[in-house]
Structure 1
C-alpha cells in the first residue's frame, strides 16, 4: 500500500521532469525530499499498528485494532494527528506549502504542474483529491470495529471524511505557511511522534519491560 502511494509520487515527479522546465525540476526535487523525510514516520506508524493488530494484511489490519484503554486511545489520537499531517504534506497543503501562491521560487507542488492544462491537469488534481480520501479512509478505519453494523461503518467513514475536509480548511485558514527552510524541521518532528506511538504499542503488548 505504501509503495503504491510512492509509485504515484514517482510518476508525478517524472511528469514534472518531463516538461524540461527548471522550475518544475526544482519543485520535483523538493517534493521528493519531503516525501523522503516523512517516510520513516509513515513506516514506523504502520509497523506499530501492525504490531498491535497482529497482522500485516490490510484486509484484517484495521479490524483487529482495539482501543479499549486510555493508552490505546492516546495512540489512536496520535496516529490520527500523524496521518493528518502526512496528508497535508503529501498533498502540499498549508503549513508545508501554499497551493494559492504565485511565486515560483517558493512553490512545491504547484510549480510541478505549471505547464499542464486541460485533461492532464484534471488528472493531476483528481489524483490529489483521491489521496486525501485515502488518508481520511485510514483515519476512519482506525475507529471502525468489525462488530459495527455496515450502516454505522459507512456513517463513520462519511463523518470522518467531512471532518477531515473541515480540518484541512481550518488549518489553511488559520495557519501561516512555514518558511521554506523550516519545512525540513517541521517534517522531521513527525518521526518522534511515530516513535512515541511505537513505544506506546510496546507498552500495550507488555513487550517493553
Structure 2
C-alpha cells in the first residue's frame, strides 16, 4: 500500500460520528463549534438548535422526577408552568407551521407534537423522541457528511466566533414579549434556564432519566 493510500485510510478512520461531534469531544477540525459554524453558513442551524432544545426539555422534565421515579409536575405548580413554558417555546420556535426556525418534520410527527399544545400537564419527554431521531438522521445522512468533507479544506479552521451564541434560544425575550408575569416568575426561580448550557456534553437518547 502506498504512503498516500495509508494516509487516506488513516484520515477516514479519524472521521468522527455525529454523536461524537455533538459531545464536543472531538479534535479540530471536527469540533462542535466548527459544525455549528458550518450549519449556520448552510442555513441549517435550526436542526441542531431543535435537538438541543428537545434535550433541554427532557433534562428539565427529568429534574422534576422524585426519588421514586414519579414526576411531580402535577403536584408542583411552578414545575408544571416552567415545563409548559419550555414546551410552548419549542413548538412556537421549531414546530408550528411558519415558525421562525421551523424544522422539516412529517405532518404526522408535527401533529403529534402539536397535540399537546394546550394540555395542562406537560408531555412526557418520550413525546419528542420520534422528531428528534428523525432530525438527527437527516443531519447524519446529509449536512453532516458535507461538513466532514469540508473539513478536508483549510477553510474549516476559520471559525466564526459568534457561532456558539447563535445556537441558543432566548427565553428572556420570549417571556418579555408574552407579558406573562407568572411565567416570568418561574423563569427567574428556575435552576435550569432553557438552553443556557448548550455546550455541555451531549447524551443520547436525551429522554432517559439522568443519574442524580
Greater share of helix residues, 1 or 2?
A: 1
TM-score range, shorter chain: under 0.3
* TM-score scaled by length of structure 2: 0.26
* TM-score scaled by length of structure 1: 0.27
